[in-house]
Structure 1
Amino acid sequence: MGTAAAVTFRDATDADVDALVDLVESAYRGDSSRTGWTTEADILEGQRTDRQGVLEVIATPDSRLLVVERDGRVVACCHVEHRGSHAYFGMFAVSPDLQGAGLGKVVLAEAERVAREGWGATEMHMTVISVREDLIDFYVRRGYRRTGRMTPFPYGDERFGVPQRDDLRFELLTKELG
């Protein structure tokens, strides 16, 4: 049975905050993240998120922070926010020991379904650090397109990490939701 099998989705509650912070940090920061391919350990040190950041996402109106569980364990999460005709996708994390086995595709598809069926969104937007070519390629294979529209990385705001290079920025990716 593949790792994407037998997962359940539910909305996050305040009781999930510690598990979600741990999950996001494990997927993107430090040595634990290096076992998966989504690591940002070589470009960013410090934190990816914190309790306050996750609580703010949970409390955001017109949004859902989806928790993905398998066998009672939190294995992935993502944030979907309704922004008019489109939805925004973020805070996407898959446990490093389960990456590369299809779970991310399942979570992304569920987020797209939520946006389309729950809010009638016709497009999904996300931003990805532009130097993360492997991650951008993952999304392009799922139907997202690069827009070339860049926004600056928040240098100096350590809530988002401590950059290890000076060329970081975010690129907007979009996908039409059929």
Structure 2
Amino acid sequence: MDTVATTAADGLIFRDATDADVDTLVALIESAYRGDSSRTGWTTEADILEGQRTDPEGVLEVIKSPDSRMLTVERDGAVVACCQLARRDAHAYFGMFAVSPALQGVGLGKVIIAEAERHAREAWGATEMHMVVVSVRNDLIAWYERRGYRRTGRMTPFPYGDERYGIPQRDDLRFELLVKELA
């Protein structure tokens, strides 16, 4: 794993997550996507998925994997955001992206995704960043498109029946692959 600790101009500290961060990161990810607390931000999935978004085992797996890292973002000593980066041949995978609902909509997400892309390009030599997004999340997909990601039309099924990914509230969920070239 490539350890990093950098400070952005706006007082953000980027670092690799440790085992001690697992519970904090699970709580952050859940708060950004599920339940009533997620409704204060714009990334909520509460209307399409109930149940959990992730669990301690899933986060710990990312932290422990030699080909991935969980980028943790702090401001004033508190964890305010995170994302998963995984090295996969010539591309990197971006996932588990969460920003505290109270801080969404102020530009923090743009800073974090730019740092993730920079790391994938410079540390791993990745030429593309890949991610999957629930295909009915048009507002979220549009946000990624404004950051240079393009829809590929390549879909994979949602894992219905596997509650580790949540409890679907509709029957038309799929994941769409989004890709961005990292120049």
Question: Which of the numbers 90, 95, 99 marks the counterpart of 2:100?
Answer: 95
CA shift digits 1:120-154 (9 cap, x unpaired): 00000000000000000000000000000000000
CA shift digits 1:21-76 (9 cap, x unpaired): 00000000000000000000000000001111111111122111000000000000
Report runs of 4+ in structure 1 exceeding 3 Å deviation: none
Letter in 2 for 1:164: Q
Aligned ranges for residues 1-178 of structure 1 at < 5 Å?
A: 5-178=10-183
Find the aligned partners of 1:116 and 1:20 in 2 and give their Cα distance: 25
Specify every segment of 5 or more residues in structure 1 that has no aligned partner in the other structure, as ranges: none
Offset of 1:159 from its aligned partner? 0.5
Q: What secondary structure, in the 3-state scheme, does the structure 2 residue paired with 1:34 have?
A: helix
Find the aligned partners of 1:111 and 1:5 in 2 and give their Cα distance: 16
Find the aligned partners of 1:64 and 1:49 in 2 and give their Cα distance: 16
Letter in 2 for 1:146: R
Aligned length: 175
Specify every segment of 5 or more residues in structure 2 that has no aligned partner in the other structure, as ranges: 1-8
What is the TM-score when the length of structure 2 is the normalising length? 0.94
Find the aligned partners of 2:167 and 2:67 in 1 and give their Cα distance: 30
Q: What secondary structure, in the 3-state scheme, does the structure 2 residue paired with 1:41 have?
A: coil
Find the aligned partners of 1:62 and 1:113 in 2 and give their Cα distance: 16
Find the aligned partners of 1:57 and 1:129 in 2 and give their Cα distance: 20
Find the aligned partners of 1:126 and 1:34 in 2 and give their Cα distance: 23
Q: CA RMSD in A?
A: 0.8
Letter in 2 for 1:149: R
Q: Percent identity?
A: 79
Q: What secondary structure, in the 3-state scheme, does the structure 2 residue paired with 1:47 have?
A: coil
Partner of 2:4: none
Find the aligned partners of 1:169 and 1:75 in 2 and give their Cα distance: 28
What is the TM-score when the length of structure 1 is the normalising length? 0.97
